[in-house]
């Protein structure tokens, strides 16, 4: 069976390896440039954080989108290898050949899907290794690795995405019996699930931490924390997010008049005066966040969710393949 | 020993009945013709026997057990679908090597020898071969598996007359080599082609079995009775009248005899396999004869 899989995928595998190598060359070349730029900045600023803030971005334009390769590769693999795995055999009727050799369908699917899922994990692992390394300076500078859009392209989650997208393709192709609809299901399903999980589910993997602080001061969680919400809490317990648009109407009139540039602003208006006024009225600052120490547990939970879903899809595929007519 | 025995085997696809309560028997070592018009259920029956489809009702016993997902069962079955399923980007040699990896009794030498004899290139993508050549490759692969039961769905469809003769010669050789351990079921529209090789017949029409048995026995049991036009009730009481035709003065009865014909007014004539098949298809529906071509229909 393994030989059949090798014969079926050796050409596509070679193309995929060549494309991956090309992508790796680009990422490595760019990554080394960014790294040396970052080191130069570090030397120049010698530990001054204000100096660091004033430096230009590390990566610009198209290059800054490089990490998305660790989302694109899983989706593409699911569409091009996963969707046709069963569907194309049914379409071309080669299933009649494969399933009347002296090999059960269960074994056929085990070996074929097994190797392809492994290939997906390997490709996902390769791209995420590259993007994680590439993102190193950016993570160090912006402490952004936990933020949506960064969390998704680094660490181990792309491996989970790749395995899931492959499994989704295999399952969709088995149900639809046709490659094209299965490709659409992979694309739609992968994007939709990723949106739901990254926008709604991920922040609830563990109960977020909320810290209250003095409004005249400032608070930033240590390390690469993921700040979910930050703002002010009124004496009555009303929570208002940061941003004057939300905050201004909620403030007591006496504090509003201290905001520079507002109609009827008092003399001596300044932001600090507003904050002092808020403090005097019993306002506190708050920050709700996932601490940096939860980065890897979150990576593990998210990868686990995708791997479990993939396992369920593959289990369903086995049931269908064994029971349904060819 | 019987190679195939089905009992009220039925298959429904959604609301369409593809095969209805099919009970047939094929003894081991026979070459069985499976004939019937398009949509009669021939392909469905073959796929059920090969284990590619599951019956809705009834049972099938193939080589001593129900068709199932089991390497030993699958090793005994050689199935060739009508669509000639091959990997179009693979060469014949690739297929031979795949077969070697997937089958315990694989005879790669047999497949290579046969294809070389037919001058079919082993190193060319199967997709670039002609339809007839592809069919020969698929056939060689099916035979290389050394099955005990060969299920061939319309194997002649893609073959020209010469290739047909080649194929039948190969089949006869395989039968001789297997010395009674190989049973063949082949479906076709071409009764004349089947007559040369088959000694058993299953006739399906309208998803029902119309006829099943040994060809020589069936031919001996059936006669065409030609006689004056008169009441056929006495004949109907004694025998089974399959089909009747009448002119103004003469009537022709196609009957399944149940003993000798006593009435001397009738003259009994022997029937050919083709007449037998046509009579039973006509019994199912008057127009069935149109579906059954005897002169090399394409599909």
Between β-strands B2-13 and B57-62, what pairing exists: parallel, antiparallel or unpaired? Answer: antiparallel
Q: Is the pLDDT of residue B232 over 50?
A: yes
What integer pLDDT is reported at residue B51 of this predicted model?
Answer: 93
From chain B, the residues in CB contact with A7 under 8 A are 90, 94, 97-98
Confidence band, pLDDT 50/70/90 cuts, at residue B286 = very low
What is the mean predicted confidence (pLDDT) over B237-242? 88
Q: Do B85 and A99 touch (CB under 8 A)?
A: no
Query: Highest-confidence range of A9-13, A233-237, A249-253, by mean pLDDT?
Result: A9-13
Confidence band, pLDDT 50/70/90 cuts, at residue B182 = very high
Residue of B nearest to A92 (CA): B85
CA distances to A192, A239, B295 from A259, in Å: 43, 20, 99
CA–centroid distance for A208 within its chain: 19
Q: Is the pLDDT of residue B284 over 70?
A: no
What is the least distance, in Å, from the CA of B227 to any CA of chain A? 51
Q: Decide if B58 contacts B11 (C-beta within 8 A).
A: no
What interhelical angle do A105-134 and A295-323 show, nearest 10?
A: 160
- Tell me whether B183 touches chain A (CB under 8 Å): no
What is the mean predicted confidence (pLDDT) over A96-123? 96
What integer pLDDT is reported at residue A167 of this predicted model?
Answer: 98
CA B198, CA B31: separation in Å to the nearest integer? 5
Confidence band, pLDDT 50/70/90 cuts, at residue A57 = low
Residue of A nearest to B96 (CA): A4
What is the mean predicted confidence (pLDDT) over A70-98? 96
Six-digit token string for B289: 């004869």
Q: Decide if B125 contacts B171 (C-beta within 8 A).
A: no
Residue of B nearest to A96 (CA): B85
CA A54, CA A61: separation in Å to the nearest integer? 19
Q: Which residue has the tokens 């018009």?
A: B37
Least confident of A48-62, A204-218, B43-57, B260-274: A48-62
In sequence order, the β-bridge partners of residue B270 are: B223
Least confident of A247-251, B30-34, B211-215: A247-251
CA B130, CA B133: separation in Å to the nearest integer? 5
Residue % of chain B over a pLDDT of 90: 54
Q: Do B53 and A325 touch (CB under 8 A)?
A: yes
Query: Highest-confidence range of A276-285, B85-94, B177-186, B290-299, by mean pLDDT?
Result: B85-94
Q: Decide if A38 contacts A140 (C-beta within 8 A).
A: yes
Six-digit token string for A47: 């530990």
What integer pLDDT is reported at residue A142 of this predicted model?
Answer: 80
What is the least distance, in Å, from the CA of A62 to any CA of chain B? 38
What integer pLDDT is reported at residue B287 of this predicted model?
Answer: 39
From chain A, the residues in CB contact with B103 under 8 A are 101-102
Q: Is the pLDDT of residue B297 over 50?
A: no
User: H/E/C letters for each residue in A2-14?
Assistant: HHHHHHHHHHHHH
Minimal Cβ distance to A103: which of B54, B85, B102? B102
Helix, strand, coil share of chain A (percent; to 5): 70, 5, 25
DSSP for A1-65 reads -HHHHHHHHHHHHHHHHHHHHHHHHHHHHHHHHHHHHHHHHHHHHTT-HHHHHHSPPSS-GGGGG
Residue of A nearest to B93 (CA): A7
Is residue A250 exposed (0-12), middle (13-18) or buried (19+ Cβ within 10 Å)? middle
Q: Do B103 and A101 touch (CB under 8 A)?
A: yes
Coil/strand/helix, residue B63: coil
What is the mean predicted confidence (pLDDT) over A33-51? 81
CA A273, CA A270: separation in Å to the nearest integer? 5
pTM: 0.89
What integer pLDDT is reported at residue B42 of this predicted model?
Answer: 92
Q: Which H or E element spans position A179?
A: helix A179-196
Confidence band, pLDDT 50/70/90 cuts, at residue B293 = very low
What value does the mean pLDDT of chain B take?
A: 87
What integer pLDDT is reported at residue B104 of this predicted model?
Answer: 94
**Of A238, A263, A267, which Cα lies nearest the Cα of A250?**
A238
What integer pLDDT is reported at residue B193 of this predicted model?
Answer: 73
What is the least distance, in Å, from the CA of B71 to any CA of chain A? 5
CA distances to A21, A36, A206, B140, B160 from B115, in Å: 41, 63, 66, 7, 16
Coil/strand/helix, residue A149: coil
Structure-model confidence comparison of residues B237 and B7, the more confident one: B7
Is residue A35 exposed (0-12), middle (13-18) or buried (19+ Cβ within 10 Å)? middle
What integer pLDDT is reported at residue B289 of this predicted model?
Answer: 39
- Tell me whether B97 touches chain A (CB under 8 Å): yes
Q: Decide if A159 contacts A119 (C-beta within 8 A).
A: no
Q: Is the pLDDT of residue B285 over 70?
A: no
Q: Is the pLDDT of residue B299 over 60?
A: no
Confidence band, pLDDT 50/70/90 cuts, at residue A267 = confident
CA B129, CA B92: separation in Å to the nearest integer? 10
Q: Do A104 and B145 touch (CB under 8 A)?
A: no
Q: Which H or E element spans position B190?
A: none
Residue % of chain A over a pLDDT of 90: 62
**Of B46, B57, B49, which Cα lies nearest the Cα of B21?**
B57
Q: Decide if B235 contacts B218 (C-beta within 8 A).
A: no
From chain B, the residues in CB contact with A3 under 8 A are 97-98, 101
What value does the mean pLDDT of chain A take?
A: 90
Q: A62-74, pLDDT tens digit by residue?
A: 567 888 999 999 9
């Amino acid at each position: 069976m393994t030989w059949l899989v090798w014969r079926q995928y050796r050409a596509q595998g070679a193309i995929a390896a060549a494309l991956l190598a090309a992508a790796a060359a680009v990422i490595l070349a760019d990554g080394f440039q960014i790294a040396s730029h970052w080191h130069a900045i570090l030397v120049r600023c010698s530990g001054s954080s204000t100096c660091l803030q004033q430096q230009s971005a590390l990566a610009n334009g198209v290059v800054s989108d490089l990490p998305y390769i660790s989302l694109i590769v899983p989706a593409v693999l699911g569409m091009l290898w996963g969707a046709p795995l069963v569907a194309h055999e049914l379409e071309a009727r080669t299933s009649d050949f494969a399933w009347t050799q002296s090999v059960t369908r269960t074994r056929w699917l085990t070996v074929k899907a097994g190797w392809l899922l492994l290939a997906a994990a390997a490709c996902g692992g390769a791209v995420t290794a590259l993007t994680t390394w590439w993102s190193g300076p950016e993570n160090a500078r912006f402490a952004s690795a936990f933020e949506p859009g960064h969390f998704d392209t680094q660490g181990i989650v792309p491996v989970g995405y790749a395995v899931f997208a492959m499994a989704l393709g295999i399952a969709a192709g088995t149900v639809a019996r046709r490659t094209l609809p299965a490709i659409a299901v992979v694309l739609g399903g992968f994007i939709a699930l990723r949106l739901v999980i990254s926008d709604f589910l991920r922040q609830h993997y563990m109960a977020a931490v909320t810290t209250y602080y003095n409004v005249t001061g400032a608070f930033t969680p240590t390390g690469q924390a993921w700040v979910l919400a930050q703002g002010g809490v009124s004496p009555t317990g009303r929570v208002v997010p940061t941003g004057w648009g939300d905050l201004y109407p909620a403030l007591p009139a006496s504090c509003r008049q201290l905001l520079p540039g507002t109609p009827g602003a008092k003399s001596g208006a300044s932001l600090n005066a507003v904050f002092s006024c808020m403090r005097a009225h019993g306002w506190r600052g708050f920050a709700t966040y996932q601490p940096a120490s939860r980065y890897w547990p979150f990576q593990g939970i998210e990868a686990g969710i995708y791997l479990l879903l993939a396992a369920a899809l593959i289990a369903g595929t086995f049931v269908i393949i064994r029971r349904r007519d060819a | 020993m019987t190679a195939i025995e089905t009992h009220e085997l039925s298959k429904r696809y959604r609301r369409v009945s593809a095969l209805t309560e099919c009970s047939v028997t094929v003894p081991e070592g026979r070459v069985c013709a499976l004939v019937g018009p398009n949509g009669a259920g021939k392909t469905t029956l073959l796929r059920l026997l090969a284990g590619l489809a599951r019956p809705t009702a009834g049972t099938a016993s193939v080589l001593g057990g129900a068709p199932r997902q089991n390497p030993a069962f699958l090793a005994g079955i050689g199935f060739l679908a009508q669509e000639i399923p091959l990997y179009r980007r693979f060469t014949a040699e690739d297929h031979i090597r795949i077969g070697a990896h997937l089958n315990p009794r694989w005879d790669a030498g047999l497949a290579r020898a046969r294809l070389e004899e037919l001058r079919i290139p082993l190193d060319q993508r199967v997709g670039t071969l002609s339809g007839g050549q592809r069919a020969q490759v698929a056939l060689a692969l099916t035979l290389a598996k050394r099955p005990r039961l060969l299920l061939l769905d319309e194997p002649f469809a893609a073959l020209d007359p010469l290739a047909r003769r080649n194929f039948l010669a190969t089949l006869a050789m395989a039968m001789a080599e297997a010395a009674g351990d190989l049973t063949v079921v082949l479906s076709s529209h071409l009764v004349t082609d089947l007559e040369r090789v088959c000694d058993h017949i299953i006739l399906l029409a309208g998803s029902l079995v119309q006829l099943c048995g040994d060809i020589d026995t069936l031919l001996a049991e059936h006669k065409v009775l030609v006689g004056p036009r008169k009441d056929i009730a006495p004949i109907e009481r004694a025998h089974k009248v399959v089909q009747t035709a009448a002119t103004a003065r003469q009537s022709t009865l196609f009957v399944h005899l149940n003993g000798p014909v006593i009435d001397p007014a009738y003259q009994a004539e022997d029937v050919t396999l083709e007449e037998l098949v046509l009579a039973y298809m006509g019994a199912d529906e008057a127009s069935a004869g149109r579906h059954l071509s005897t002169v090399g229909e394409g599909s």
